[in-house]
Structure 1
Amino acid sequence: MTISPVALAIIILLICLFFKVPVFVSIMAGCVTYFSLTPGIPQLIVTQRIVSGTESIPLLAVPFFVCAGVYMNYSGVTERIMNFCSVVTGRMTGGLAQVNVLLSTLMGGLSGSNLADAAMEAKMLVPEMEKKGFSKAFSSVVTATSAMITPLIPPGIGMIIYASVTGVSVGKMFISGLGVGAILCIAMMILVHIVSKKRGYKPIRTEKLPAREVVGSVKQAFFPLCLPIIIIGGIRIGMFTPTEAGAVAIVYSLILGFCYRKVNVKNLIAGIKETVLTTASIMLIVGAASALSWIFTKEQIPQALTTFMLTHISNKYLFLLIVNVFLIFVGMFVEGNAINIILGPLLAPIAASYGIDPIQFGMMFIFNISIGSLSPPMGTLMFVTCGVTKCKIKDFIKESVPFYVLLFIVLALLTFVPVCTTGLVNLFY
């Protein structure tokens, strides 16, 4: 029995990913295998597809928003927003855990990276939470789970990549992300309240703050919190495109940094270096995945998959259920950006064939990937957070059970109640 070149390429790709070979190397190993075993195809096509895959205008937003997020961290914005969150949630049951969730939500509109958000909060908040009596496992789980909100809030890098590879409007994805992020934030704060009340985790304070302190914290956080409004508002009224919004975000973050006297020449150079490294890692995956997409198209895999689905699955809700299970399973083993680039173009057309709104499917897709990033055996969010907090993985998994239940409830809402993902989009557009 002979194995076709495309099947062998996919097998090699999966084996490499399983053994934690870098994602772009794994994808390239599969592509090179296919081109080496398929006669009549010039080897030069691999190079052409890698280069052309990165020549997408929407993808220009990736380095811009990465850079803006880096400079926001250097400009002292995080501390200002954390003080603001402490004022807002200080009297809630759960105290610092509530601050943790709200901070992730607000920082999502600035950094765009869930791993950066998780690492930052693990360093800043978890030690303080432990001093206040929270367990290490609970503190770590809240930090990692709340970081899932970051890619759902504009300018989430995952939304930009998904939109660029599927042809969906980046602006509409951003608007939808605001609603989805708010739903997850509120749901998580309710769960934190329930768990904290049961365990006796106290609020930060019980008395009201003086009006002067409240006004002061709002003033400190006001201009950083204006960034998402500027991005969404500017895109909606046509002042700039989503790509240009990234450049605007960089300028805005630098202005804040200079005004707060936190950004200097050393920080500028370090920020540029960090931006280049992060962008390069993303673009290598994008370029390699573009070559893989060419192989899928040539072999007519999307068409065959669509025909199979439509023939054997007549109900769109059953299709959505199958996709949810599949994406969560894949997300447990494969890095999120790779899933976005490889499976997005495959599954989005099938969803459209069932009449599913592309924005709804896109947000559901990204939410599934986020759940996968939290799950063993290769959950990046879990390992990054536990690596910083020194929490044992078994304790983390045990503590995360109620949070998984919550995530699946929210996922069901996004899957079967379209207004949760399209309501704001319809309102704005």
Structure 2
Amino acid sequence: MAFLPLLLMFILFAINVPVAFSLAISGMVYFIFLSNDLPMDLLIQAIMSSTTSYPMLAIPFFITAGVVMSYAGISKKLMDMAEVLTGHMQGGLGQVNILLSVFMGGISGSPIADCAFEAKVLVPEMEKKGYSKAFSSALTAASSVITPIIPPGICLILYATVTNQSIGDMFMAGYIPGILMGAALMITVWRISKKRGYLPSRKTKASWKEVGKQARSSVWALIMPFGIIMGLRLGWFTPTECGAICVIYSVFLGIFIYKELKIKHIPRILIESVLSTASVMFIMCCAGLFSKYLNWEQIPSTVSNFLLGLTDNKYVFLLIVNALLLFMGMFFDANAALVIFPPLLAPVAQKLGIDLVQFGIIMCMNITIGGVTPPFGILMFTAANITKVKVGEFIREALPLLGALIAVLLLVTYIPGISLFLIRLFG
């Protein structure tokens, strides 16, 4: 009976009940019908307690900052900078697509937002230059996996909050893995482009003068990721205060520097920010109720003992976790997955001596890569629906890109120094 709500949750999700409602219904079934000795007001407390965490305030701030930036012209400046730096390479617009996602990681923090933006803006341009629509769509979805790994990714904040880790450490740990994912995709695109004859978008490499000119125009947007991490490490502000500063900074850039943010944009910005924040927080509330059930029935401890019974080798355990989370990433929204699975898996990782910050990066990478993986990846459907490409064609083009991402995932999994290097460097 203890596992009935857990089983019910997966059944509800399998029949396309939204994740938040699946969590809420399963948790309520437990509190109402299966737990005789628990007071009913605990149900309400479990739902509301998820919203009272001070670090969680960082989520609406960073979401709002990302929305403001899309209206403030910052995304366009980043795309122009990416084109100057990589447009001369084989498969020029494909390289721009990847580098833009690296830049967008410090801006939007959302893979779906990045995927939707690039699918609308870059895929049509890539088609005009001779790239196939399926390849352009697959690359857009694959490169969007980078976005939540580079700060201020929302998934990093969620994992840190759920497992009581430092948000600053999670931010610091995300940079090198995110950059490696970008490099792996760029090498893959270079090989594919050379084979198919996808040409550079620029005839010649940009001169230092051109790079400098574009850098001066884009520098205000580019300094934000570095400002975030340095401010956190030097103790100038907390992650929540950092989110608020990013909103103010974005508004300042949009009004006074790039002059593209208008009064008429404010209602749309507020609506988009509220809707995006509400979806994340609703999942968190329902997950809070479900986690109370898990803790009350000691499900994490049971799962921990089961996994430790399978193996006490941390490398084998990490391989099992990678396979499990890549599979789950096909079905679960990343935000939902990162409030469900860390309480189950992090205790085992800790017992095996795995650093929980490194484990968090592994989990975030797995879940987001799963979003591109057929047959149900959410990033796959986001890109395919926007560009109107057939899923079968998308899958064929996505396979080598997924191979590159999984290769980086394995490196991060088995070489802890990749994700922990900057934390150790800055102490």
Partner of 1:161: 158
Aligned equivalent of 2:368? 370
- Stretch moving more, 379-388 or 211-220: 211-220
Letter in 1 for 2:420: T
Match 1:354 to one of 352, 355, 360: 352
What does residue 381 of structure 2 align with?
Answer: 383
Q: Give structure 2 stretches of 5+ with no counterpart.
A: none
Moved over 3 A (4+): 208-213
**Is residue 8–residue 33 contact of structure 1 (8 Å, CA) maintained in 2?**
no
Shift of 1:208: 3.9
1:239 alignment partner, SS class:
coil
Which of 139, 147, 160 aligns to 2:144? It is: 147
Given the alignment of the two structures, is residue 171 of structure 1 paired with residue 168 of structure 2, yes or no?
yes
Question: Aligned AA for 1:33?
Answer: V
TM-score normalised over the length of structure 2:
0.97
Partner of 1:296: 294
Identify the residue that residue 181 of structure 1 maps to in structure 2.
Answer: 178
Tell me the amino acid that sits aligned with residue 13 of structure 2: L
Q: Which amino acid aligns with 2:210?
A: E
Equivalent of 1:22, from 18, 22, 30? 18
CA distance in 1, matches of 2:248, 2:139: 32
Give the counterpart of 2:238 among 237, 241, 263: 241
Task: Provide the C-alpha distance between the structure 1 equivalents of 2:412 and 2:208, rounded to a whole number of angstroms.
Answer: 39
The CA deviation at 1:394 is 0.3
Q: Identify the range of structure 1 (394-403 vs 265-274) with the bigger mean alpha-carbon deviation.
A: 265-274
- Report the equivalent of 1:88: 85
User: Does the CA-based 8 Å contact 1:149-1:184 persist in structure 2?
Assistant: yes
| Residue type of the alignment partner of 2:334 | G
Deviation sequence 1:63-114 (CA, Å, 0-9, x none): 0000000001100111111111110001111110000000011011001111
Amino acid at match of 1:383: F
Task: State the one-letter code of the partner of 1:215.
Answer: G
8 Å CA contact 1:84, 1:217 repeated in 2: yes
Alignment of 1:4-403 (within 5 A): 4=1, 6-38=2-34, 39-209=36-206, 211-259=208-256, 260-403=258-401
Q: Is the 8 A contact 1:126 1:139 kept in 2?
A: yes
Q: Is the 8 A contact 2:88 2:206 kept in 1?
A: no
The CA distance in 1 between the partners of 2:333 and 2:125, in whole Å, is 31
Per the alignment, residue 408 of structure 1 pairs with: 406
For residues 144-186 of structure 1, the C-alpha deviation after alignment (integer angstroms, 9 at most, x for no partner) is 0000000001000000000000011110111111111111011
- Do 2:85 and 2:206's aligned partners in 1 also have CA atoms closer than 8 Å? no
- For the 8 Å contact 1:334–1:378, the answer to whether it is kept is no
Post-superposition Cα deviations, 1:265-301, rounded to whole Å, max 9, x if no partner, equal: 2212211111111111101110111111111111111
Conserved 8 A contact 2:371-2:378: yes
Task: Label 1:208 to 1:323 Cα distance change in 2 as closer, same or farther (>3 A).
Answer: closer
What percent of counterpart residues are identical?
A: 46
Distance 1:225 1:137 in 2: 30
C-alpha distance in 1 between matches for 2:148 and 2:207: 35
Taking a change above 3 Å as real, the CA distance of residues 365 and 210 of structure 1, as seen in their structure-2 partners, is closer
Query: TM-score under structure 1 normalisation?
Result: 0.97
Structure 1 counterpart of 2:377, one-letter code: G
In structure 2, what is the Cα distance between the partners aligned to 1:250 and 1:147?
Answer: 22
Report if aligned partners of 2:140, 2:383 keep a CA contact under 8 Å in 1.
yes
Distance 2:64 2:367 in 1: 23
Structure 2 CA distance for aligned equivalents of residues 312 and 142 of structure 1:
37
How far does residue 307 in structure 1 lie from its aligned partner after superposition? Answer: 2.2
SS at match of 1:243: helix
Partner SS, residue 345 of structure 1: helix
Residue identity opposite 2:311 in structure 1: I
Shift of 1:40: 2.1
Where does the alignment leave 5 or more consecutive residues of structure 1 unmatched? none
How far residue 399 of structure 1 moved from its aligned partner, in angstroms, is 0.9
Determine helix, strand or coil for the equivalent of 2:118: helix
**Residue type matched to 1:412 in 2?**
L
Q: Counterpart of 2:283 in structure 1: which amino acid? A: I
Structure 2 distance, partners of 1:223, 1:277, is: 28
Secondary structure in 1 aligned to 2:130? coil
Contact 2:133 2:387 in 1 (8 A): yes
Measure how far apart 1:211 and its partner are: 4.9
Q: Which moved more, 1:203-212 or 1:173-182?
A: 203-212
Cα distance in 1 between the residues matched to 2:294 and 2:100 = 41
| Aligned-partner Cα distance in 2 for 1:307–1:129 | 51
For these two proteins, the number of residue pairs brought into alignment is 425
| Distance in 1 between residues matched to 2:57 and 2:115, nearest whole Å | 25
